[in-house]
Amino acid sequence: MEDAEAVNLAADWADISQGLRKDLGHQLHSQWIKPIQVGVIDKETGVLDLFLPTEFSANWVKDRFHDRLQLAWKIARSEVRTINIQVHPGRRQLPELRLDNSRRPANDGASAIAVAAGTIGDAGFTSSVGLDPSLTFAAFVTGEANVLACNAAQRMAATEQPQFSPLYLKAATGQGKTHLLHAIGHAFLQAHPRARIFYCSAERFMVEFVQALKANQMMEFKARLRSFDLLLVDDIQFIIGKASAQEELLYTIDALLAEGKRLVFAADRAPQALDGVEPRLLSRLSMGLVADIQAADIELRKKILESKLSRFAPLSVPDDVLDFLARTITRNVRELCGGLNKLIAYAQLTGQEVSLNLAEEQLTDILSANRRRITIDEIQRTVCQFYRIDRSEMSSKRRARAVVRPRQVAMYLSKVLTPRSYPEIGRKFGGRDHSTVIHAVRLIEDLRQRDADMDGDVRSLLRQLES
């Protein structure tokens, strides 16, 4: 399979899996859907192979989810006619490979990921998930909100030793911290082909810790955990309150750092905001670099949608629909991409064209959950404070440049951030004609392209209004 085809299949599976997780719930999804590995598409027959680790799990998924999975794949890729769910043909060899990375076949990217992220021996430390092939640095869209975290993540994965360790990624749900964890793993494997990588959630770390404790296998647990070259731990906030697990993680961090190995943690809050964490562990989590991923602004949300849409070519989504989604779905990037996926899937299933009306009709739940009503009054007040002019200037007839330009910016933002029409906006600005508003919107759009200061002003105001 060509690399590009493998990446596209993995990206489609990530979208399908995410949708099933919402439908089935976390427990069912984690147990039966997440272990699925995507094979190849037979171009002649249109059959797509899906692999599971055991005959029992393959039969269980086939009996209960075959039709749902097949429909989802047909929506995602028109060339898929049917799916074939079966046991992975190389599954019996995987445990042996995982015991020793030096025996991993050369130039086998899929095996590298399986070895790095999977089970270490039959009674060892296991991971509930591996590295997602679609979550790479190439697929991560950057903007002001996340560029620091992305650059730090790339440094952590580079060939040369990073200047900081551990790296702590802090971001709210759905803003990209898990994506960066997986991207670090992929890039690190490319830079260090024989490396041993482990990725897990803090919750899974605790489960494995307790299992090893009950089975009197703590020595094996510690030895295997500390044998990794890169440790990636997601959702570290869930290790709160477990004193013994915290202590073991603390010792592991110290042991790995002493050997010059790399550690990356991710959480939805800063280290100082983690309740119930032992002070010594808190100190270790904070000692490297804490990189904050801010909420994506409207420009970044638009870039993300455009990047996502490029995979659906030649399907066309009008600019006004992309603008609408980027402006309205603001809570997190995951919901934003989910909204686009749902809209495209509905259009393909029904044969309708993607339009603004279709988006408003079919994404009601997502839009309602995200919509924070920004008013023209709020925009005017924020713009006046930013430019330090009196609020009355929004409606005045004065033509001095010091008040005209802020007024035009406020008109532009009113059109971008509210559903109001040009005439409605004009009435809120001293009863001005709609043509005046149209002129202001076009002028500011043009200035943003040519004038970096104007673009910076608008970006700053957008962040204030959307926060």
DSSP classification of residue 200? E
Do you find a cis peptide bond into 53, omega within 30 degrees of 0?
Answer: no
Quote the pTM value: 0.57
What is the pairing mode between strands 230-234 and 197-201? parallel
Q: Can you tell me the distance from the alpha carbon of 407 to that of 428, in angstroms, rounded to the nearest whole number? A: 11
Q: Where are the domains of the chain?
A: 3-89, 98-293, 298-370, 376-466
Q: 264, 184 in Cβ contact below 8 A?
A: yes
Query: Are the beta carbons of 289 and 168 closer than 8 angstroms?
Result: yes
- C-alpha–C-alpha distance, residues 259 and 387, integer Å: 54
Helix (H) or strand (E) holding 169: strand 167-171
Predicted confidence at residue 265, as pLDDT, reads 94
CATH of domain 3-89: 3.30.300.180
* Among 229, 262, 282, 293, residue whose Cα is nearest residue 101: 229
Sequence-ordered strand ranges (E) for 8-65: 37-41, 47-52
pLDDT in the model for residue 341: 85
- Contact at 8 Å (CB) between 248 and 215? no
**Is 185 annotated for ligand binding?**
no
pLDDT tens track, the chain, 467 positions:
455 677 778 878 888 888 788 777 777 788 789 889 898 888 888 899 999 888 777 888 887 888 788 878 887 787 888 899 988 775 433 222 222 233 233 333 332 333 333 333 333 333 324 677 888 999 999 998 999 999 999 999 998 888 888 999 999 888 999 999 999 999 998 888 888 888 888 877 877 888 888 888 888 888 888 888 999 999 888 776 667 778 888 888 898 888 889 999 999 889 988 877 888 888 999 999 999 999 898 889 999 999 888 776 667 788 888 988 988 888 888 888 888 888 888 887 888 888 888 888 888 777 766 666 788 999 999 999 999 999 999 999 998 989 999 999 999 999 888 878 888 899 999 999 999 999 999 999 999 989 888 988 998 898 788 76
Return d(Cα 262, Cα 162) in angstroms, integer.
8
Calpha distance 390→368 (Å, rounded) = 34
Characterize the bridge pairing of strands 37-41 and 47-52.
Answer: antiparallel
For position 314, what pLDDT does the model report?
A: 64
Q: Which helix (H) or strand (E) holds 233?
A: strand 230-234
Residue 270, SS3 per DSSP: coil
**CA separation for the pair 367, 384 (Å, rounded):** 29
Cα pseudo-dihedral 371, 375, 380, 381, rounded to 10: -80
Is 174 assigned a ligand-binding role in the annotation? yes
Say if CB 357 and CB 371 are below 8 A apart: no
Q: How far apart are CA 184 and CA 155, in angstroms?
A: 9
Give residues with Cβ within 8 angstroms of 192, minimum separation 6: 159, 229
CATH fold for the domain made of 376-466: Chromosomal Replication Initiator Protein Dnaa; Chain: A; (1.10.1750)
pLDDT at residue number 127 = 34
State yes or no: 173 annotated in a binding site.
no
CB atoms within 10 A of CB 73: 23
User: Residue 399: how many CB atoms within 10 A of its CB?
Assistant: 8
Q: Which CATH number fits domain 298-370: 2.60.40.10, 1.25.40.10, 3.40.50.880, 1.10.8.60?
A: 1.10.8.60
DSSP type of residue 31: I
Q: Supply the pLDDT for residue 240.
A: 62
Structure-token match 């330090």, residue found:
388
Give the pLDDT score at 102.
31
Note the pLDDT of residue 77: 82
Q: What is the pLDDT of residue 130?
A: 66
Burial class of residue 435 in the structure, from the number of CB atoms within 10 Å of its CB (0-12 exposed, 13-18 middle, 19+ buried): exposed
Cβ atoms < 10 Å from Cβ of 28: 15
Give the residue carrying structure tokens 């509905």.
Answer: 346
Superfamily of domain 98-293: P-loop containing nucleotide triphosphate hydrolases (3.40.50.300)
- Strand segments (E) across 294-393: none
User: What is the bridge-based pairing of β-strands 230-234 and 47-52?
Assistant: unpaired
For residues 206 and 237, is the Cβ–Cβ distance under 8 A? no
Check the annotation: does 74 bind a ligand: no
Radius of gyration of the chain (CA): 25
| pLDDT score, position 123 | 31
Q: Is 233 exposed, middle or buried (0-12, 13-18, 19+ CB in 10 A)?
A: buried
Residue 378 tokens read as 């709020």
Instruction: For residues 452 and 397, give the distance between their C-alpha atoms in angstroms, rounded to a whole number.
Output: 28
Structure tokens at 219: 């020595």
Please state, in angstroms and rounded to a whole number, the distance separating the CA atoms of residues 30 and 28. Answer: 6
Which residue type, as a one-letter code, is found at position 374?
I
CB atoms within 10 A of CB 321: 21
415, 437 Cβ separation under 8 angstroms: yes
